[in-house]
């Protein structure tokens, strides 16, 4: 392990909720909860003002509403969050070529590899500049941890929240870790934590005192040895710049169980098409098609089928997903469906229809993988997050206009705003922008022809270009 605190961990503060507050002046300083707004939705992120009421991530949305009935409840705007994330990751890559993103709002940086820091003073200087740059570019705040290894840098950033900076000096790690709960260590979840507690171990210091042999006896060789090393503040994991995507997948949770088999088939076909769109957007193809079904009793099944070569053909993926569905009993009702593709490659095998049909014998259970994008948070069609207005499309077919709470709109007369709520044929809009004060509220019919969906505005106005230097065109 290195002797200088040159591993940096950045974690943006309440990222989704903070982005919404920055975008909507009327919500600044107020409780904001982002997630699926249907009865089966879950909290994705909540502001610190909402956490005062006991709301936290992954909480059922129905419970959050009971705890904080007056909070603002918004549907995620992943497009905006990705744009901000790209800005933040760009700032991190200016510090070092070794940046390891963990999610949209979290990453490790090896400052030493970028020759940005080599001791405590230079690491602090780089971290302070980073926090200032993030605020200037995005208007948001992030918490930063500095340490000699990844595990401790992440612990430091947790201690720094919100909007802080904590450096763990080399040589002080064991004393710092000793009184902490075992749950602070990577890989220690509720089950492992309970198992250790039954063995008389509840703090990191007690893990170190128990010794290597006892940890191996309790948890097995691999897990026991790894946990013992971390309790001694030993973490040799490097910052890895490129993390291979393992799968691309989409899923929807439904407010009401789907019992109609035809409807289930239609949903699977729709999910397959969405999955292929994401696959192509990432310039990838894949060999294994995965179907996920969560039934009425919360039992979750996965089925997979491996093709002879990678594909990004929607017809092939639809056909394989439909075939997998035939092996699943959905008569009791379905609450969640998902379609994914694994075994990814950056090329496509042509003409796979024959092999797709021949692959029916390759059905397996338990396929899993890492998603390339966020799945929809707790609400599929009819999630109760917005009103739906059916209008005629240019081709004469009905098209849905959906007014999601928190999403951007533009009115011909009143300009840019966001949906505060909708229902009973009406949609309420607050007209304000990131740079304005709290705006006025107006209500319209959901089919108002002067109201349309809009793209999010940047949270910080770009600086005007300065005058051209002499000799520049």
Tell me if residue 461 is catalytic.
Answer: no
CA–CA gap between residue 238 and residue 230 (Å, rounded): 14
* Three-point CA angle 116, 119, 121, nearest 5°: 85
With beta carbons less than 8 A apart as the criterion, state whether 403 and 386 touch: yes
Give the chain as a 3 state SS string.
CCCCCCEEEEEECCHHHHHHHHHCHHHCCCCEEEECCCCCCEEEEECHHHHCCCCCCCCEHHHHHHHCCCCEEECCCHHHHHHHHHHHHHHHHHHCCCEEEEECCEEEEECCCCCCCCCHHHHHHHHHHHHHHHHHHHCCCEEEEEECCHHHHHHHHHHHCCCCEEECCCCCHHHHHCCCEHHHCCCCCHHHHHHHHHCCCCEHHHHHHHCHHHHHHHHCHHHHHHHHHHHCCCCCCCCCCCCCCCEEEEEEEEEEEECCHHHHHHHHHHHHHHHHHHHHHCCCEEEEEEEEEEECCCCEEEEEEEEEEEECCHHHHHHHHHHHHCCCCCCCCEEEEEEEEEEEECCCCCCCHHHHHHHHHHEEECCCCCCCCCCCCCCCCCCCCEEEEEEECCCCCEEEEEEECCCEEEECCCEEEEEEEEECCEEEEEECCCCCCCCEEEEEECCCCCEEECCCCCCCCCCCCCCCCCCCC
Q: Which of 249, 248, 251, 329 lies closest to 40 in space, CA to CA?
A: 251
Q: Of these residues, 20, 49, 100, 106, which one is catalytic?
A: 106
Reading the block at residue 31, the tokens are 């409780």
Neighbouring CB atoms inside 10 A of 425's CB total 11
Has 329 been labeled as part of a binding site? Answer: no
CA–CA gap between residue 13 and residue 46 (Å, rounded): 10
Has 11 been labeled as part of a binding site? Answer: yes
Residues 6+ away with beta carbon under 8 Å from 467: none
Residues contributing to the annotated binding site for Mg(2+): 11, 105
Report the binding-site residues.
11, 105
| Catalytically active residues, by annotation | 106
């Amino acid at each position: 392990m290195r002797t200088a605190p040159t591993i940096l961990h950045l974690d943006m503060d309440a990222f989704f909720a903070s982005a919404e507050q920055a975008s909507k002046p009327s919500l600044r300083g107020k409780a904001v909860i982002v997630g699926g707004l249907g009865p089966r939705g879950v909290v994705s992120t909540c502001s610190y003002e909402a956490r005062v009421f006991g709301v936290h991530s992954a909480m059922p949305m129905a419970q959050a509403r009971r705890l904080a009935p007056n909070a603002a409840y918004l549907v995620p705007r992943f497009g905006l969050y990705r744009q901000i994330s790209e800005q933040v990751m760009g700032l991190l890559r200016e510090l070092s070529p070794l940046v390891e993103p963990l999610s949209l709002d979290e990453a490790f940086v090896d400052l030493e590899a970028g020759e940005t820091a080599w001791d405590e003073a230079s690491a602090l200087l780089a971290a302070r500049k980073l926090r200032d740059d993030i605020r200037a570019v995005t208007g948001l705040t992030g918490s930063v941890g500095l340490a000699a290894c990844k595990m401790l840098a992440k612990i430091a950033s947790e201690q720094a929240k919100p909007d802080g900076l904590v450096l763990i000096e080399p040589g002080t790690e064991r004393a710092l870790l000793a009184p902490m709960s075992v749950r602070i260590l990577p890989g220690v979840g509720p089950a492992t934590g309970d198992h250790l507690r039954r063995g008389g171990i509840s703090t990191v210091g007690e893990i170190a005192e128990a010794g290597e042999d006892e940890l191996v006896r309790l948890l097995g060789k691999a897990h026991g040895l790894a946990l013992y090393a971390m309790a001694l503040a030993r973490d040799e994991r490097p910052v890895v710049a490129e993390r291979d995507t393992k799968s691309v997948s989409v899923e929807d949770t439904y407010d009401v169980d789907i019992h109609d088999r035809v409807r289930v088939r239609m949903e699977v076909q729709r999910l397959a098409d969405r999955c292929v769109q994401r696959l192509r957007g990432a310039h990838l193809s894949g060999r294994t098609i995965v179907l996920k079904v969560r039934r009425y009793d919360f039992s979750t099944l996965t089925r997979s089928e491996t093709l002879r070569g990678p594909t990004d053909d929607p017809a092939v993926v639809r056909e394989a997903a439909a075939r997998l569905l035939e092996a699943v009993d959905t008569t009791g009702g379905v609450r969640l469906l998902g379609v994914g593709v694994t075994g990814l490659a950056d090329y496509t095998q042509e003409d796979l229809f024959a092999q797709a049909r021949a692959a029916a014998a390759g059905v397996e259970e338990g396929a899993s993988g890492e998603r390339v994008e966020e799945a929809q948070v707790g609400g599929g069609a009819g999630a109760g997050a917005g009103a739906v207005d059916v209008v005629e499309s240019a081709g004469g077919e009905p098209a849905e206009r959906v007014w999601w709470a928190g999403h951007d709109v533009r009115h011909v007369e009143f300009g840019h705003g966001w949906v505060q709520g909708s229902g009973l044929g009406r949609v309420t809009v607050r007209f304000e922008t990131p740079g304005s004060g709290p705006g006025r509220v107006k209500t319209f019919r959901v089919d108002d022809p002067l109201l349309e969906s809009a793209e999010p505005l940047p949270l910080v106005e770009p600086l005007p270009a300065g005058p051209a230097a002499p000799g520049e065109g």
